[in-house]
Amino acid sequence: MQERKKLIIIGAGFAGLALLRKLKNKPFDITLIDKNNYFTFQPLLYQVSMGGLGPDAIAYPIRKILRKHRNVTFRMCELTHIHADQNTIATTIGEFSYDYLLICAGAVTNFFGNADLQKNCQTLKSVNEALDLRSDILQEFERALSLRKKDAIAKTLNFIVVGGGPTGVELAGAIAEMKAHVLPHDYKEIDKKLMHVHLVESGGEVLSMFSESLRLKAIDSLQKLGVEVWLNTKLLSYDGHLAKLSNGMELPSYTVIWAAGVRGSTINGLSAESFTRSGRLVTNRKNLVKGNQNIFALGDIASIEGDTKFPNGHPMVAPVAEQQAENLANNMLRTLAMNEWREFTYFDKGSMATIGRGEAVFEAYGIKLSGYIAWLAWMALHLLLLVNFRSKLIVFINWMYNYINYERAIRLILKPTYRKLDE
């Protein structure tokens, strides 16, 4: 009888869950490790931060997902070190041994070495950060009510989003919609003209993965919402009070949201040759980490060498992670049948991003859509991708309520902070 191999999967994100689905009750003994006890549907994090959804709509308990996986155990802990020569890993709760190590640890925010930005900007990579951002924005509204001088109110209501990718565009559009629909009704004493939303992008375009016509459409939609878009502009510094831009502008603000870059999560124990400059793990087209025989990397943390279509690594999006996981899981099963492994080839199913109520861009198979139809397509796809029926139902009901009532219903300040008010 063939010995069952021990697999350790680091990370319960899109890649990790796709591996588990494919290897469910197969002849492998799998240990899943994650620092959280829940899976996060990251594409909708920004809606939690804007009060449109509660965290339970996009976060799902891992142990509930694994109930019918007889060959999987879960441990809530963090990876601290890989001992590749011993086929073991060290974690915050002890050591584990493996035959195959599958790293699906995802990405973290990249501030490109700027310590001041890292200290003072807000980020959006987790449920906790989404809730903190929601509390901060709502608290700025509350603070504005207690101020007398217009310039102090304007500073409090000056929101800056850095990064013109999907997260930055979606955040900027959502904050602008709060200005249009929440501020006038819930904070009637505030002149909404004093609130400004800025989107700062260092390149010459937003949503670079789309064709030019849709990129221009996205900018037009943002500007119609009232977002001030600054292209070819970098955020040089931010001290918690004043943002200095490369175009010479200085924007007073208490809220700067950094959505301008990510890097691979920190992994200790592998050689320097295994990493790119951005912290991603270098792999071959079978997702095997460079310099190793039984350690694999998938999803955002992986940078595949040898794919001429993606010389700088594949896009850090969920479909890439899931397709890599499916290919690697199939290769693991081929090992049992003593069949040859296959290389990974990414099948691009297209891109989409939402900008605001009834506004989105969609591009797939040569089809380009924008506006209301693209927005409906975006909603339908994200509903389908959610983990379970309960999440789909909660999100659908919230979306319909928000659409009919122009509401951001979940406006709770869960983490109040206090500072001396500017007069």
Task: Give the residue numbers marked as catalytic.
Answer: 170
Compute, in degrees rounded to 10, the torsion defined by CA atoms 7, 12, 17, 22. 0
| 332 exposure class (CB count in 10 Å sphere: 0-12, 13-18, 19+) | buried
At position 29, the amino acid (one-letter code) is D
Q: What's the DSSP call for residue 372?
A: H
Strand 59-61, strand 38-40: pairing: antiparallel
Compute, in degrees rounded to 10, the torsion defined by CA atoms 25, 28, 29, 34. -80
| 383 exposure class (CB count in 10 Å sphere: 0-12, 13-18, 19+) | middle
Which residues partner with 243 through β-bridges?
238, 251
- Do residues 314 and 307 touch, judged by C-beta distance below 8 A? yes
Q: What's the DSSP call for residue 419?
A: -
Handedness of CA 266, 275, 311, 385 (dihedral sign): negative
Q: How far apart are CA 394 and CA 104, in angstroms?
A: 28
